[in-house]
Amino acid sequence: GQPLGVLDGIPVAVKDNFNTAGIETTCASNMLKGYISPYNATVVQKLLDQGAVLLGKTNLDEFAMGSGSTDGVFGPVRNPWSYSRQYKEKNPPKSHSENEDSEWVITGGSSGGSAAAVSSFTCFAALGSDTGGSTRNPAAHCGVVGLKPTYGLISRHGLIPLVNSMDVPGILTRCVDDAAVVLGLLAGHDPKDSTTIQDTFKPFELPDSIDIRKLCIGIPKEYQVPGLSSEIQALWSEVAELFKDAGAKVIEVSLPHTPYSIVCYHVLCTAEVASNMARFDGLEYGHRADMKQSTESMYAATRREGFNDVVRGRILAGNYFLLKENYENYFVKAQKVRRLIANDFVKVFGSAVDILLTPTTLSDAAPYVEFIKEDNRTRSAQDDILTQAANMAGLPAISVPAALSKRGLPLGLQFIGRSFQEKQLLSVAKWFEKQVKFPVIQLEDMKRHDCSVFQHQKSVSSL
């Protein structure tokens, strides 16, 4: 017969906060354990219509709240690179008695399961979501491509929301060409999502070469944050030089309101969370506590049992910010600051800068035992700092694997583009990908009978 589409027969994975008809959709929360969704998210439907094979739902931080994929009800996600030869060579166990397993590193989050699935060759592409960096962060830590599209380009219908005004479905693939293919299949107006733009989307193929000399790359100085590791710092400068040497114009730019974005995000995010989680009351679906005294007591028990501390903390904070006496000072203020942050980008992109180049994360992936020494809120505030502003402004951004760290773990760099200019963004990303030739993960116990299978050059569309 005829292939259904480009993805016919291609295995894909979907983050467990997307609705999949007839398949459990949990958001890694007790609240939705056992919840069988009756419908497919639009993006899931589009993949299935193309003939993609859904291998499974991937693990995440509960309700996508977190930057490590460590706080879900099914436990933490392990970064496949923890088991790579590259990492093991640089981190030999200190003694034979030491548990070999204690040095494994996190994937980053919250779409850690999706990133791990792509990274470990279990599928060709995976869907994640990105609200503050949740697709780009794990992409960087797992050595895969993570694309955050422009807000309004891809339908959110069926994506269980974290922050409705910032969420986007994210795309995780092994190479930039694959990301472009998947984007082409998913983008476009959805009548079921009133926040998608009406314009017809034209899928594109990425050119094999572009004229770098026509490009102006901006290096935002505010992204030079204190916690940035020297490795990433050096890599960033190196790559800036790379572009310069190739003939691009590379200039320093300023996005002055960047330092406020984390605080602003916390107010707006928690407020929306408080609102979005109000529907989980045990009445219509999901977990219901065995409490029959009164409706109120049933609500309270259900929500205490169903949500983890992170979710409950955000709900409480969000409700506080939405109180009548606080609304102006917090919510409205944050919206105004958000406008300023977005305007920073408008100004910079209006001044002939085409693409911004920044790091994606502060460092390579931390060992799990180190990561959990700080709480979710602290970690999120630290880790979102480089990715969050793009969500504030609704801009497209992509993390591309750039090099391995001293510890043998992936380091990614981020490109941020103009609204709805994914073609330009991905073209630049593809050019960059070709220059760096990021090494393939060498997972032990994998029979390497055919080297060519693992080469990045081979993309989904050429199979």
Partner 1 sequence: LATWVPVVGLEIHAQINSNSKLFSGSQVQFAAPPNSLVSFFDASLPGTLPVLNRRCVEAAVMTGLALNCSINKKSLFDRKHYFYADLPAGYQITQQRVPIAVNGNLSYSLCIDNKMSQMVTKTVRIKQIQLEQDSGKSLHDDARSQTLVDLNRAGVGLMEVVMEPDMCCGEEAAAAVRELQLILQTLGSSQAIMAEGQLRVDANVSVHHPGEPYGVRTEVKNINSVRFLAKAVDYEIRRQIEELENGGTILNETRAFDSKLGCTISMRDKEGKQDYRFMPEPNLPPLILYDAKSLPANMNHQQVVNIDWIRERLPDLPSVKRAKLVELYGILPEHSFTLLNEDGLAEYFENVIKHTQMKPKKVIGWILNDLLSYLKEHALAVKDSPVSSFLLADLLNLLERREISSSAAKQVFEELWKGEGKTPLEIVKEKQLELLRDQEELEQICQAVIDRQEDEVGVGTFG
**Which amino acid, 304?**
R
For residue 260, give the DSSP letter: G
Nearest-angstrom CA–CA distance, 123 and 136: 18
Point out which span in 53-61, 241-249, 269-277, 398-406 binds partner 1 (CB under 8 A).
Answer: 269-277
In contact, 311 and 318? CB cutoff 8 Å: no
Least distance in angstroms from the C-beta of 262 to partner 1: 20
3-class DSSP state of 288: coil
- Tell me the closest approach of the beta carbon of residue 284 to partner 1, in angstroms: 5
Question: Judged by CB under 8 A, which stretch of 38-46, 139-147, 337-345, 449-457 contacts partner 1?
Answer: 38-46
* Min separation Cβ 402 and partner 1, Å: 34
- Return the number of the residue (280 or 371) whose C-beta is nearest partner 1: 280
Secondary structure, 3-state, the chain: CCCCCCCCCCEEEEECCECECCEECCCCCHHHCCCECCCCCHHHHHHHHCCCEEEEEECCCHHHCCCCCCCCCCCCCECHHHHEHHHHHHCCCCCCCCCHHHHCEECCCCCHHHHHHHHCCCCCEEEEEECCCCCHHHHHHHCCEEEECCCCCECCCCECCCCCCCCEEEEEECCHHHHHHHHHHHECCCCCCCCCCCCCCCCCCCCCCCCHHHCEEEEEHHHCCCCCCHHHHHHHHHHHHHHHHCCCEEEEECCCCHHHHHHHHHHHHHHHHHHHHHHCCCCCCCCCCCCCCCHHHHHHHHHHHHCCHHHHHHHHHHHHHHCHHHHHHHHHHHHHHHHHHHHHHHHHHHCCCCEEEEECCCCCCCEHHHHCCCCHHHHHHHHHHHCHHHHHHCCCEEEEEEEECCCCCEEEEEEECCCCCHHHHHHHHHHHHHHHCCCCCCECCCCCCCHHHHCCCCCHHHC
Q: Does 38 bind partner 1 (CB under 8 A)?
A: yes
Q: Does residue number 431 form part of the binding site for partner 1 (CB under 8 A)?
A: no
299 binds partner 1 (CB under 8 A): yes
The minimum distance between CB 35 and partner 1, in angstroms, equals 8
Pick the closer one to partner 1 by CB: 189 or 347: 189
For residue 431, give the amino acid letter.
Answer: W
- Binding segment for partner 1 (CB under 8 A), chosen from 111-119, 318-326, 354-362, 404-412, is 318-326
Residue of 129, 134, 399, 405 with catalytic role: 134
By beta-carbon proximity to partner 1, the closer residue of 48 and 366 is 48
Judged by CB under 8 A, the stretch of 30-38, 72-80, 118-126, 176-184 that binds partner 1 is 30-38
Whether residue 134 lies in the annotated active site: yes
Which of residues 76, 108, 158, 394 is near partner 1 by CB under 8 A? 158
Could you confirm whether 46 is annotated as catalytic?
no
Which range in 128-136, 323-331, 353-361, 405-413 contacts partner 1 by CB under 8 A?
323-331
**Does 322 engage in binding with partner 1 (CB under 8 A)?**
yes
Q: Find, among 229, 12, 263, the residue nearest to 132 by Cα.
A: 263
Q: Is 292 in the site for partner 1 (CB under 8 A)?
A: yes
Cα–Cα dist 248/356, whole Å? 12
- 67, 82, 110, 459: the active-site residue: 110
Q: How far is the CB of 3 from partner 1 (least distance, A)?
A: 29
When binding is defined by CB under 8 A, the residue of 93, 191, 259, 350 that contacts partner 1 is 191
Site string for partner 1, 236-265 (x = CB under 8 A): ------------------------------
Q: Which of residues 117-156 bind partner 1 (CB under 8 A)?
A: 156
Report if residue 195 touches partner 1, rule: CB under 8 A. yes
Nearest approach, Cβ of 129 to partner 1 (angstroms)? 11
Residues 329-358 that bind partner 1 (CB under 8 A): 331
Stretch of 236-244, 320-328, 345-353, 375-383 contacting partner 1, by CB under 8 A: 320-328
Is 15 an active-site residue?
yes
Residues that bind partner 1 (CB under 8 A): 18-19, 25, 27, 32, 37-39, 41, 156-161, 163-165, 191-195, 271-272, 274-275, 277-281, 283-285, 292, 295-296, 299, 319, 322-324, 327, 331
Catalytic residues: 15, 110, 134
